[in-house]
A and B are shown apart, each in its own frame.
Chain A
Amino acid sequence: EAQVTQNPRYLITVTGKKLTVTCSQNMNHEYMSWYRQDPGLGLRQIYYSMNVEVTDKGDVPEGYKVSRKEKRNFPLILESPSPNQTSLYFCASSFRWATGELFFGEGSRLTVL
């Protein structure tokens, strides 16, 4: 089954404790991206990757890091989480970026205390 898998789905952590949200897709997609969803703000792009070893900032990259060492994986790293990073995070991938038709994971709800 074609899918984008995120882990963990739910996480409660404390300020400053490094964490990684993993994202993996099995569709051989070149493009991958991370979004966060907050009430009243919709979905905002954090980082994206056009291909292996090619990453770039989205609209809200502060406090996040990413890497793309393999085509299928695109982990999101919070080196020192803060309460304002409490959010619902979505990973997405696309085969033909020009169409903008993204396949999304089910989301990871992160709470930073």
Chain B
Amino acid sequence: DQQVKQNSPSLSVQEGRISILNCDYTNSMFDYFLWYKKYPAEGPTFLISISSIKDKNEDGRFTVFLNKSAKHLSLHIVPSQPGDSAVYFCAASAGTASKLTFGTGTRLQVTL
């Protein structure tokens, strides 16, 4: 049972435009959400996070939005750059946060 779902395996966006990556979750106990970025042959790296007490968190070109009623979060990248081409994983944790539950990932390609 996939508790964190990324329904789009891939996304292609032109350089300079907005990239929107989506993530849905089913576990209402999740209260902390994160996005990780992964380049080929490297480990994932932390990108941005949001607590369930917020509905938006911004860090430079990256903004994460959380819609608790819809159990949905999204990552916006504006403007998209070729270096943003990577696989993006969303992840969620609940309570004591001894574990993170990851989605299956979305491969973003930013084209020139």
Which A residues contact B (CB, under 8 angstroms)? 4, 33, 35, 40-45, 48, 50, 56, 58-59, 90, 92, 97-107
Restricting to B57-98, which residues have a CB under 8 Å from any CB of A? 89, 91, 93, 97-98
Q: A45-B100, A100-B34 are in contact. List 10 more A-B contacts (CB 8 A).
A: A42-B6, A42-B102, A42-B105, A43-B89, A43-B91, A50-B98, A100-B93, A102-B36, A102-B46, A104-B45
A97 touches B43 (CB 8 A): no
User: Which B residues are CB-close (under 8 A) to A103?
Assistant: 46
A33 to B6, CA, bound (A): 23
Q: How big is the B interface, by class?
A: 20 to 34
Q: How far is the CB of B13 from chain A (nearest CB, A)?
A: 22
Instruction: Identify 14 residue pairs between A and B in the complex whose beta-carbon atoms are under 8 Å apart, listed by A's number.
Output: A40-B104, A42-B89, A42-B104, A42-B105, A43-B89, A45-B99, A45-B100, A48-B99, A100-B91, A104-B45, A105-B43, A106-B41, A106-B42, A107-B42
B104 touches A48 (CB 8 A): no
Which B residues contact A (CB, under 8 angstroms)? 4, 6, 32, 34, 36, 41-46, 49, 89, 91, 93, 97-105
Q: Output the nearest chain A residue to B46 by Cβ-Cβ distance.
A: A101
Q: Output the nearest chain B residue to A90 by Cβ-Cβ distance.
A: B43
B97 touches A44 (CB 8 A): no
Q: How far is the CB of A61 from chain B (nearest CB, A)?
A: 12
User: Which B residues are CB-close (under 8 A) to A50?
Assistant: 98
User: Which A residues are CB-close (under 8 A) to B100?
Assistant: 45, 100, 102
User: Which A residues are CB-close (under 8 A) to B102?
Assistant: 35, 42-44
Decide: A100 near B97, CB < 8 A? Known: A41-B104, A42-B102, A43-B89. yes
A76 to B103, CA, bound (A): 23
Q: Output the nearest chain B residue to A42 by Cβ-Cβ distance.
A: B104
Query: Could you say which of A42, A56, A97 contacts B97, with CB atoms under 8 Å apart?
Result: A97
Q: How far is the CB of B50 from chain A (nearest CB, A)?
A: 11
The residue in B34, B93, B97 that gathers the most chain A C-beta atoms within 10 A of its C-beta is B97
User: Which B residues are CB-close (under 8 A) to A100?
Assistant: 32, 34, 49, 91, 93, 97, 100
